Amino acid sequence: MNLRRILILGCFAAALTTLSAQEKQQEQLSLSLEQAKEYAISFNRNLKMSDLSVQKAYKAKWQSIASMLPHANATLNYNNYLGYEMDFSGMVIPMNPSGDLTIQATIAITGMQVVGVQMSKMAIEMSETNKNLTELDVKGNVVTGYLSVLIAEESKRLLQDTRNNVQKLFETTSNLYKVGMLEQTDVDQLDVQLGTLDNNIRSVERNIELAYNALRLILGSDSAQIVLTETLDNLIARDNAYQILATPFDLKSNYNVQLLNQNIELSKKQLNLKKWEYGPTLSAFYQYYGRTTFGESEGLSMTPPHAIGASLNIPIFSSGERLSKVQQAKFDVKTAQVTKDEAVEGLLVQEKQLRFNLKSALETYEVQKKNVDVYERIFKNMSQKYELGVASSTDLTTVSNNLISAQSSYISSLMDLLTAQVNLQKLLNNL
């Protein structure tokens, strides 16, 4: 019996372990950069809100259309006069309890309603453009987040390599100190150097975790285990940056410019809306009326069972109120045009600045990359001299600090290159 229970418990534990492993496997995301963009487009919360705004704009369009279509209302009434009778010169008319049904259908059409439908269509276009702009921002954030993780991991790798080399020298120095060939200060200097590197590595590890958390937030997946499948060298390539620099700037494809153009058109529609306040309003109705009397006599009814009607409301005089609204709307159109012109000039200046920033960042990156290579060779040569007793521990520590400083500058140049590249890509709508 005990053996049977043990086997059952073992199978149960194995099943739980399998389910747990499957859950962990389901939560793991292995993503290339393009896959990360696609994932963010599907699950990013800001994009979901933008999509809801587009859907809301479509519903608002139908609301505008429905205002020009017939509307119908039904009314049910019950009246009881508690036995009251009307007396007309000896003629008694009983007021029996009764029930009324009134159905009325109405329709009203103005030019303002037509313009309102056109404005609702413009609202849809602007909502979709805003969604595209949000999607572009999300893609840029994904690229930044993805590369930030890889850069942080590259920083850790560089520090770890330096730390491994210093560790070997520390062990060699410790052994030489034990046999009396070196002093305690030589060991202490390398020990301090190891402690500094360990602190730097731990700091970078925290930065890596922060970068992963930021990427999870952008992707819209808070608890997923993310595995990046692309390398830094593949993503930040020299030809890639030069290719971006060679990409022309098309103002028509810029979503901000599109929004400004749509805003001008919307202002024009609003001007037409104010002009149509001079226009007439045509309305019509049909009414059905039915009464049921709860008694021997139907009593008196003054309402006909069927009725139709139409009216035409023509504005005549408003003491200049409508004219003032039209003039204000004209100023709004001109203001929208000036705003667009100013924004376009700013975008053209921004394009030149972003191209300059990317060129400068690329040049700095190439210099810092060579600088790291040089200091790695210097550190290697100094390490060999130190082992041969030609260089002191102070010389080695100085070169090691220079190498760490060069690596830090290299990582900083990578981040600057990333920022400059993404900013230009967003402007060019090339993400």
Structure confidence by residue, pLDDT tens digits, 39-51: 998 888 888 888 8
| Angstrom distance (rounded) from CA 69 to CA 158 | 71
| Angstrom distance (rounded) from CA 305 to CA 291 | 9
- Entry pTM: 0.79
Give, rounded to a whole angstrom, the gap between the first and last alpha carbons of the chain.
Answer: 66
Which two structure tokens, joined as six digits, stand for 103? 């159905």
Nearest residue to 162 via CA among 335, 327, 388, 402: 402
Nearest residue to 236 via CA among 427, 415, 37: 415
Whether the Cβ atoms of residue 76 and residue 291 lie closer than 8 Å to each other: no
Write the CB contacts of 123 (distance below 8 Å, at least 6 apart in sequence).
57, 60, 61, 266
Cα 81 to Cα 84, 88, 173, 293, 303: the distances in Å are 6, 17, 115, 12, 18
DSSP state of 404: H
| Angstrom distance (rounded) from CA 263 to CA 243 | 33
Lowest average pLDDT, out of 31-45, 146-160, 235-249, 281-295, goes to 235-249
| Angstrom distance (rounded) from CA 394 to CA 390 | 12
pLDDT at 15: 46
Q: What is the mean pLDDT of residues 334-361?
A: 94
| Angstrom distance (rounded) from CA 157 to CA 164 | 10
Lowest average pLDDT, out of 178-182, 253-257, 332-336, 389-393, goes to 178-182
Phi-psi region of 401 (alpha: psi -120 to 50; beta: other; left: phi over 0): alpha
Counting every residue written for the chain, the total comes to 431
| Angstrom distance (rounded) from CA 173 to CA 221 | 49
DSSP state of 247: S
Residues 11, 13, 16: CA angle, nearest 5 degrees: 110
Instruction: Give the tens place of pLDDT for each residue, 411-427.
Output: 999 999 989 999 999 99
